[in-house]
Amino acid sequence: MPATAERSLTIWADRVHPRVLSAGEGPPVVFLHGAAGLLWDPFLDAVAQQFTVHAPEFPGTSPGDHTGIESVDDWHDLVVYYGELLDELGLERATLIGHSFGGMLACELAAARPDCVGALVLLAPAGLWRDEDPIPAFLTLAPEDLAAVLYHSPEVAAAYMTPPEDPELAGEAMIAFAWALGCTGKFLWPIPDRGLHKRLHRVSAPTLVVWGAEDQLIVPAYAEEFRSRISGAQVETIADAGHMLQQEQPEATASVVAEFLAG
Amino acid sequence: MKVTAFHLMPHRELPDDFEKRYPSVWVDPPFHELGTAERTGQYYNWTLDELTFAAEQGFDAVGVNEHHQNAYGYMPSPNLMASALARATNHLDTAILVLGATLPNVNPPLRVAEEYAMLDCISGGRLVAGLPLGTSMDNNQCAGVPPIEQRPRYWEAHDLILKAWKEREPFAWNGRFYQYPKVNLWPRPIQEPHPPVFIPGVGSYSTWEFAARHDHSYSFLSFFGPQLAKAIMDGFWEFSEKAGHPANPFRAGFAQIVAVADTDAEAERLYKRHIEYFYNKCLHVPAQYWNLPGHQDYVSLANGVRSGRSLKMLDALNNYKTYTYKDFLDKRFAICGSPATVRDQLKDLALDLNIGNLMLLVHTGSMEHELCLHNIEMLAKEVLPELQPIFEDEWGQENRWWPQRLLRRPATAGV
């Protein structure tokens, strides 16, 4: 398993200090995490077997930098901010892998700066809306209900969502979880549709859309919405996986991603 | 002491199995399964009649507030109710307390400045202007405000409203959430420079700091009785002292469920089911609804979790679901009984918490109209006369948080 290196950047005129976790060898990829914050999981380990993975944390969600969220107020800020972050990482034509909220973010970046994105991998991305398949208001769900819409397998859900036994660690986990959802909620709530459908045609990078066949949060019907709007996009479906597909099927998910990026 | 007759305007006839059948009283309950518009019209009119009666009976104020998409209290526009009340009480010295129109979910927030100014004009300068942050349910769910933006929006809307009332010349407003080329409020409130402001809260330090900085009166609103309130209000007064303010009781308020009958036994017979209805049905809210992620700022979130207060609050929110009438009385969540019982307990509460503004919930849950009128009459005749003089001699002359024309002046004033 590759060792994970950790560093803090100072960007956005010294107002945001995101932590970036990196591991692996090979061509660089950037992983943009979902609404609940960054967790380095076996999927990232698997990707890091063939690539150098850089995983920056969303503004406000890095330890000791909770005020970072105060200096990005809207999607325009956010897209310009992430452009600066990619510049800071020194990546030209970066490969972006984004999960859920991170997928929405990756789409916005790829549409705003098509010249900067070499390839795009979208894992159950947010950002579009179908009236016939409304996305549940996940901030309002009790923990057990949230687990049920995020995971297909109750065992995997329990492994990832059971609080630590140590009360102090459990408290810190609760704070980090709630604050990450608060920070990303600024850009997602109340409806995770900020007009991305008008901009997706600008994406020119080769694009892979990956969906868990059993996704209850953003149902698989959304895959076609992305595919039809992004020129040349291809779709892969992962069996026995819900919205947290990369945690439920890390090997299978990493394998379709690696195959796509190799091609 | 200023005693307000307060009303939530709840659904009075929820089915017995309401809390089993539906996940929440707020946001989710289906209107058409639970009532009709015609019956709701009856509730509104009963509420207006009850509060008008309370004004006639001698309460210092009548009070309403704002909530959305719920059966707990559905006055989505408290100002519509307050307008009818202002008109109906123009011959009386009763303040109109709107506690209040919540700011982050009104756009433009200048609408609140305008409507409060209208109310002050209609009532002849009797408005007390509540400027609440609002609940997570109302703001984040019903109005769609991102939780992390609720407080910043509130602060900006508050500053804008105060400035709109005070500035004599038009001004441009370039805020983060609100921008206007020319703010020139019509009408202006009668009270100069603006009506007294009440800030309701649930005990967070940032709200005390905010109320103190602006010299507003703070109201602690909970339905969990004076025992829990003691810890909160002690903290408030300690904070106030550090900020250099004398402990003027009119700087603070408290809300209390109250019901009176001839004897304690008669009170139990009359009110037991209404009290239990209130806690079992009207407060049937999933715990996570009170605080969507981001609704608390980071410091409050971290302090609350690390100090164990969040866990205690969660316990409090879960525990009362098993309480009986006796528990509610023992813990004084509700103060119910004979005139002597209610008088004594309310006096204790006022002196113990040092609160000069007492908001009495004169209607609770499923209480019928006639019973509510009975409660109001008993309170007015048997309880108010002993409550109203409290704090007045010592502090009444320094009560800046009440419409000045309504303050009781000593008989020699102006001579």
Work out the pLDDT band at B409, boundaries 50, 70, 90. low
Which chain A residues are Cβ-neighbours of B294 within 8 angstroms? 139, 178-179, 181-183, 185-186, 189
Nearest to A238 by CA among A128, A121, A115, A130: A121
Work out the pLDDT band at A1, boundaries 50, 70, 90. low
Nearest to B108 by CA among B156, B37, B50: B156
CA B41, chain centre distance (Å): 22
- Check CB contact under 8 Å for B294 and A181: yes
- Check CB contact under 8 Å for B140 and A190: yes
pLDDT higher than threshold 90 for residue B131:
yes
Out of B286, B294, B306, closest to residue A185 by CB: B294
How far off is chain B from A23, nearest CA to CA, in Å?
30
Residue A199, both tokens: 């901009």
Mutate to test the interface with A, among B149, B288, B296 (most CBs of A within 10 A): B288
Nearest to B214 by CA among B196, B241, B233, B239: B196
Question: What does the pLDDT look like over B16-59, one tens digit per residue?
Answer: 999 999 999 999 999 999 999 999 999 999 999 999 999 999 99
Q: What is the mean pLDDT of chain A?
A: 97
Question: What does the pLDDT look like over A40-93, one tens digit per residue?
Answer: 999 999 999 999 999 999 999 999 999 999 999 999 999 999 999 999 999 989
- DSSP per residue, A192-226: S-SSGGGTGGG--S-EEEEEETT-SSS-THHHHHH
How far off is chain A from B287, nearest CA to CA, in Å?
8
pLDDT, residue B108, reads 95
Out of B27, B147, B301, closest to residue A189 by CB: B147
pLDDT, residue A92, reads 86
Instruction: Say whether residue A75 is in contact with chain B using an 8 A CB cutoff.
Output: no
Out of B141, B146, B306, closest to residue A185 by CB: B146
Question: What does the pLDDT look like over A204-221, one tens digit per residue?
Answer: 999 999 999 999 999 999
- Check CB contact under 8 Å for A137 and B141: yes
Which chain B residues are Cβ-neighbours of A178 within 8 angstroms? 293-294, 296, 301
Q: Are B8 and B362 in contact (CB under 8 A)?
A: no
pLDDT, residue A226, reads 98
Handedness of CA A180, A186, A192, A198 (dihedral sign): negative
pLDDT, residue B232, reads 84
- Check CB contact under 8 Å for B147 and A191: no
Instruction: Say whether residue A73 is in contact with chain B using an 8 A CB cutoff.
Output: yes
pLDDT higher than threshold 90 for residue B317:
no
Residue B21, both tokens: 């059948």
pLDDT, residue B235, reads 85
Which chain B residues are Cβ-neighbours of A78 within 8 angstroms? none
Specify burial of residue B92 (Cβ count, 10 A radius: 0-12, 13-18, 19+).
middle
pLDDT higher than threshold 80 for residue A150:
yes
Work out the pLDDT band at B337, boundaries 50, 70, 90. very high
- Check CB contact under 8 Å for A186 and B289: no
Q: What is the mean pLDDT of residues B373-393?
A: 97
Higher pLDDT, B28 or B311: B28
- Check CB contact under 8 Å for B301 and A185: no
Q: What is the mean pLDDT of residues B118-132?
A: 98
Give the Cα separation of B132 and B224 in Å (integer): 19
Mutate to test the interface with B, among A61, A62, A74, A139 (most CBs of B within 10 A): A139
Instruction: Say whether residue B182 is in contact with chain A using an 8 A CB cutoff.
Output: no
Q: What is the mean pLDDT of residues A180-187?
A: 98
pLDDT higher than threshold 50 for residue B403:
yes
Which chain B residues are Cβ-neighbours of A191 within 8 angstroms? 144
Work out the pLDDT band at B412, boundaries 50, 70, 90. very low
Q: What is the mean pLDDT of residues B156-173?
A: 98
If you search the block for the tokens 């810190």, which residue do you land on? Answer: A172
Instruction: Say whether residue A137 is in contact with chain B using an 8 A CB cutoff.
Output: yes
pLDDT, residue B415, reads 34
Out of A140, A174, A189, closest to residue B146 by CB: A189
pLDDT higher than threshold 60 for residue B410:
no
Q: What is the mean pLDDT of residues A215-229?
A: 98
- Check CB contact under 8 Å for A185 and B293: yes
CA nearest to A171 within chain B: B305
Which chain A residues are Cβ-neighbours of B176 within 8 angstroms? 73
Question: What does the pLDDT look like over B209-239, one tens digit per residue?
Answer: 899 899 999 999 888 888 778 888 988 998 8
| ipTM score | 0.95
- Check CB contact under 8 Å for A185 and B295: no
